[in-house]
A and B are shown apart, each in its own frame.
Chain A
Amino acid sequence: MLKKKRLFSMMLPLLTASIILAACGSDSSTTSTTSSTVSTSNSGEVKKLVAGSESSFAPFNYMDDQGNVVGIDVDVLNAMGEEVGFETEVRAVGWEPIFPQVKNGEIDLGASGITITDERKETFDFTEPYYEATQVLVVKEDSPITSAEDVKDKKISVQINSTGHMAAKDLVGETNPNILGYESVPIAIQEVLNGTTDAAIGDNAVVFEYIKNNPEAKLKTIDDDSFEKEYYGFMVKKGNEELLNLLNEGLLKIKENGKLAEITGQELE
C-alpha cells in the first residue's frame, strides 16, 4: 500500500506534465487547422505574409491577453492588406532576430517600428515611411537635466541597439561605459526610476505609452532639437522588389484614404 502510494506520488508530476503538454498540443493543432481553412477558403489570390516583431514595443506591437500580437504596426499592415489583397501574420520573434530572419528569408518582412536608417538600407530594403518618430529624453521630475547637452557625463539607459542607443552613442561616444543597453524601452525607463541611470532615451510613441500606463511615475520628458527626425518603415529582404512594391502600393492607398492617419493619429505627407 505504502509502496503504491509512493509510486503514485512520483508519477504525479509526470502525469500532470503530460496532460498539460497534450492539452497544448491539441490546442495548437486546432488553431492551425482553423487558420488553414481560412487561407484555403480565400484560395488563390490572397497572399499570406509573415512579419516579425519585437512584441514588447507598445503601442506599435505588443501582446494582448490572448497571446496575439496587436498594435499600430499590425493595424497598418491589415489596412494595407485590405486594399491590395494580402493577409499578414505578425509573429513575435524578438528584436535582434528580426534582422537575420528577414535576411535569410525565414520571415517576409520586419514590422516592429523599425526606423529607416542608412546603415540598415545597406542590407535591407524599406517601404515608404508610415510613422514619424523622434527620440525623447526621460528624466525624473526633480532632475536638473534640461537638454541633451546635460547628459554628456551622466548615465544613460537605452534599448540595446535601437535608434535611441545610436543617439546616445552620438552624444557621448561609441564605447562609453555610461550607456547602458537594456532589452526594452520600459526597462530603460524603469532604470531611471530605480536610480541606476540619470536619463533614458527612447522613441516618443513608446515613452508616451509608458507614461500613459504609469501615470503616478514621477517622470518628465524632454524634447531636444538635436535628435534627428526618424521614419518607421516596413523592412524586407534586399532586392525583393515584388513585395516592396506591393507594400508601397498598399501604404499609398491607406495614406490617400486617410486610414493611416486614423490608425497612427498623425498626418504624414
Chain B
Amino acid sequence: MITSVDVSGFLMRTRGRGRLHWSDWFVYAYLAIGVLVVALPILWMFMSSIKSPGALVENDPRLLPYEQLTTPSPDGQRRLGVFVWTKPDGAKADVAFVGPRGVNARVFDLAKPAEIFEVPRMSLARKDAVKPRWENYTDPTIGSAQSRTFNFLRYFWNSTFVTVVATLLTLVVNAMAAFALSKYKFRGRDAMVIVIVSTLLIPPTVILVPLFITVSSLGMLNTLWGVIIPAIATPTGVFLLRQYMLTIPDELLEAARMDAASEWKIFWRIMLPLTMPALSVLAILSVIWRWNDFMWPLIVLTQSEVFTLQLGLSTFKGELNDNMHYLLAMTVLTLLPVTLVFAFLQKHITTGIANTGLK
C-alpha cells in the first residue's frame, strides 16, 4: 500500500527548509510513543497468550514464547530441563539437569545419558527454544478438564446470540419507527420525535435498579432476552435512521402506492434497501455495543450458563491466577471479533461515530 517513494517522502518531509522543525520531531515522537502505548499491551497480550504457564508464572519478559527444552530422564519417569554447560575450557555442551547437590548440579550429557556427573551450577544456562503453545487456545474451546470453569463455547455462543439477535431487532424496530416518523404525517409526530430523542438524556446507570425490577417482574432474569430486549430501542438508532430517511424522496413511495403495494411492502422492499448506508452504520455500532456490553449483563445474568463472554472473562479474572494462560488466550479471542470488524470496516465505523457523536 505504501510505496518506497511515499516512505522516503514521509521521512524527508520538513517544516523548515532543509532541516526538520522541532514540531516534526515532536510529531514523530508522539506517534511513535502513542503506537507503543496502544499497540504494545495488545501485542504483549497476544504473545503472552501463547506462552507456557511456567513462562507466565516466572514472568519471562521476552516477547517471544520461549520455553525450556526438556528431555526424558534415564528411567523415563519424568522430564528434565536442558541446560547449556560451559566447560572450564570454554567449550559448550547440552546437559540435562538431574538434581542439585550443594553449589553443584548433577547432570548428564545428552549424548551419554548413562553418565551422571557434577558441574558448578554457575556454569549452566537454561536452553530455551521458541515454542508457541496453541493449547492455551484449544483447551478451553475444544475442551479439557482443567479449563472447565471457563466454558468458552457456551459464553461465545451466548455473546454471539445476543449480538446477532439484538442487532437484527434493533435494525428492524428502529427502522420501523424511523419510517413512521419520517414518512407519515400524524398528530403528535413531532412530540414523539422529541420524546424519543430526549431518552438520550436518561443515563443508563441511573435506571439500573428500576430496570432490574421491571425485567425481573417480566421473568427475564437469567435469560438472554433480558439482555437483548431492553437494549433494542436505542434513540441513537431512531435519530440516525430518521435523518437519513428524510432525504429519500416521497415520490418513490407514492409510485409504489399507485402500484398497490402495501405499506409494509413499501417499508421492507423500498425503504430498507434505500436506507442501507445508515442501516449498516447502525448495525456496526450495535454489534460493537452488544458484544462489549458489560454492566447490564452483569446485573441480569447471575448464572454462569447464561454468561456472555465479557462476564465469563471478568469472573475468570477474579478467580485463581493459576489459569493465566487460559485467561489471556480467551481475552485475545474476545477482542478478535471487534478487531476484525474494525479492520474491515474502519472507515464506516469512524465516520459513523464521528457523525452520531455517540459510541
The judgment on whether A and B are partners is no
Q: What residues of chain B have their CB less than 8 Å away from a CB belonging to chain A?
A: none
